[in-house]
Amino acid sequence: MWSSLPSFVAVYPETILVVVASALVLLDRVVKFKDVFTWITLATVAVTLGVVYWTVGTSFAFSYAADSYALFFKTIFLLVLLLATLISPGYGRVVGIHFGEYYGLMMYAVAGMMIMASAKDLVLLYLGLEVMSLSVYVLAGLLYSDMRSLEGAMKYFLLGSFASAFLLLAITYIYGLTSSINMEAIANYLGTHGLLANKALLFSLALFAIAFGFKVALVPFHMWAPDVYEGAPTSVTAFMSVGPKAAGFAAMGRVFLLALGTAKVGWTHFLIPLAVVTFFVGASLAVVQTNIKRMLAYSSVAHAGYAVLGIIAGTKEGMSATMMYLFIYALMNIGAFGIIILLRQKDFLGESIYDFQGLSKTHPVAALLMLVFLFSLAGIPPTAGFVGKFYVFRSAFEAGHPLLVIAAVLASCIAAYPYLRVVMLMYMRPPEKEVTLNLTGYLFTSLAISLTGVLLFGVWPEPLIHFARLCCGLAP
Amino acid sequence: MIPISWYLVLSLVLFALGAFGFIARRNVIIMLMCIEIMLNAVNISLVALGRGLEDTAAHLLVFFVIAVAAGEAAIGLALVVLLFKKTREVHMDEFRLLKG
Domain ranges of chain B: 4-94
User: Do you know the residue count of chain B?
Assistant: 100
Per-residue pLDDT tens over the stretch A397-448? 999 999 999 999 999 999 999 999 999 999 999 998 888 888 999 999 999 9
Per-residue pLDDT, averaged over A307-321, amounts to 94
pLDDT at A120: 93
Say if the Cβ atoms of A172 and B45 lie within 8 Å. yes
Per-residue pLDDT, averaged over A52-66, amounts to 89
Which residue among A130, A154, A289 sits closest to B28, beta carbon to beta carbon?
Answer: A154
d(CA A378, CA A128): 32
Per-residue pLDDT, averaged over B46-68, amounts to 93
Per-residue pLDDT, averaged over A282-308, amounts to 95
| Chain B contact for A291 (CB, 8 A cutoff) | yes
Say if the Cβ atoms of A165 and B58 lie within 8 Å. no
Please spell the DSSP secondary structure of A73-123, one letter per residue: HHHHHHHHHHHHHHHHHHHHHHHT--SHHHHHHHHHHHHHHHHHHHB-BHH
| Chain B contact for A112 (CB, 8 A cutoff) | no
Say if the Cβ atoms of A126 and B75 lie within 8 Å. no
pTM of the entire structure?
0.96
- Partnered with residue A345 across adjacent β-strands are A348
Burial of A103: CB neighbours in 10 Å, binned 0-12, 13-18, 19+: buried
Q: How confident is the model at residue A3 (pLDDT cuts 50, 70, 90)?
A: low
| Chain B contact for A143 (CB, 8 A cutoff) | no
Residue A377's alpha-carbon distances to A161, A296, A389, B59, in angstroms, are 30, 10, 10, 45
Nearest to A313 by CA among A356, A267, A350: A267
Say if the Cβ atoms of B97 and A231 lie within 8 Å. yes
Q: How confident is the model at residue A471 (pLDDT cuts 50, 70, 90)?
A: very high
Per-residue pLDDT tens over the stretch A257-294? 999 988 888 899 999 999 999 999 999 999 999 999 99
* Those residues with Cβ within 8 angstroms of residue A188's Cβ, 6 or more apart along the chain or in another chain: none
pLDDT at A408: 96
Search chain A and give the residue with CA nearest B96: A151
A273 preceded by cis ω (within 30°)?
A: no
The answer to whether residue A132 scores a pLDDT higher than 50 is yes
d(CA A288, CA B100): 8
- Partnered with residue B27 across adjacent β-strands are B91
Q: Which 3 state secondary structure label does DSSP give A288?
A: coil
Which residue among B57, B95, B100 sits closest to A154, beta carbon to beta carbon?
Answer: B95
pLDDT at A60: 85
The answer to whether residue A147 scores a pLDDT higher than 70 is yes
Per-residue pLDDT, averaged over A203-222, amounts to 94
> Residues of B at the A interface (Cβ-Cβ below 8 Å)?
8, 15, 18-19, 22, 28, 31-32, 35, 38-39, 41-42, 45-46, 49, 53, 55, 57-58, 60-61, 64-65, 68, 71-72, 75-76, 79-80, 82-83, 86-87, 92, 95, 97-100
Q: How confident is the model at residue A197 (pLDDT cuts 50, 70, 90)?
A: confident
- Partnered with residue A352 across adjacent β-strands are A291
> Are A433 and A357 in contact, with CB atoms under 8 Å apart?
yes
Q: How far is A458 from chain B (nearest CA, A)?
A: 33
Per-residue pLDDT tens over the stretch B52-62? 999 888 999 99
The fraction of chain A above a pLDDT of 70, given in percent, is 99
Per-residue pLDDT tens over the stretch B19-39? 999 999 999 999 999 999 999
d(CA A333, CA A442): 17
Neighbours of A458 (CB within 10 A): 22
d(CA A430, CA A84): 32
The answer to whether residue A49 scores a pLDDT higher than 50 is yes
pLDDT at B99: 75
d(CA A27, CA B83): 28
Q: What is the CATH number of domain B4-94?
A: 1.10.287.3510
The sign one gets for the Cα dihedral A213, A216, A217, A219 is negative
Q: What is the dihedral of CA A205, A315, A81, A228, to 10 degrees?
A: -40
pLDDT at A476: 66
Which residue among B46, B60, B76 sits closest to A172, beta carbon to beta carbon?
Answer: B46
Backbone angles phi, psi at A345, to 5 degrees: -125, 175
Backbone angles phi, psi at A317, to 5 degrees: -60, -45
Search chain A and give the residue with CA nearest B86: A147
Chain mean pLDDT for chain A: 93
Q: How confident is the model at residue A377 (pLDDT cuts 50, 70, 90)?
A: very high
Instruction: Indicate which of B51, B68, B81, B91 best probes the interface with A, i.e. most A CBs within 10 Å of its own CB.
Output: B68
Helix, strand, coil fractions of chain B, as percent rounded to 5: 80, 0, 15
The fraction of chain A above a pLDDT of 90, given in percent, is 88
The answer to whether residue A45 scores a pLDDT higher than 90 is yes
The answer to whether residue A1 scores a pLDDT higher than 50 is no
Say if the Cβ atoms of B87 and A165 lie within 8 Å. no
d(CA A249, CA A308): 8
Q: How confident is the model at residue A4 (pLDDT cuts 50, 70, 90)?
A: low
Search chain A and give the residue with CA nearest B84: A150
Residue A387's alpha-carbon distances to A13, A37, A199, A392, A394, in angstroms, are 30, 36, 40, 9, 11
Contacts of A155 in chain B (CB under 8 A): 92, 95, 98
Which residue among A162, A165, A288 sits closest to B42, beta carbon to beta carbon?
Answer: A165
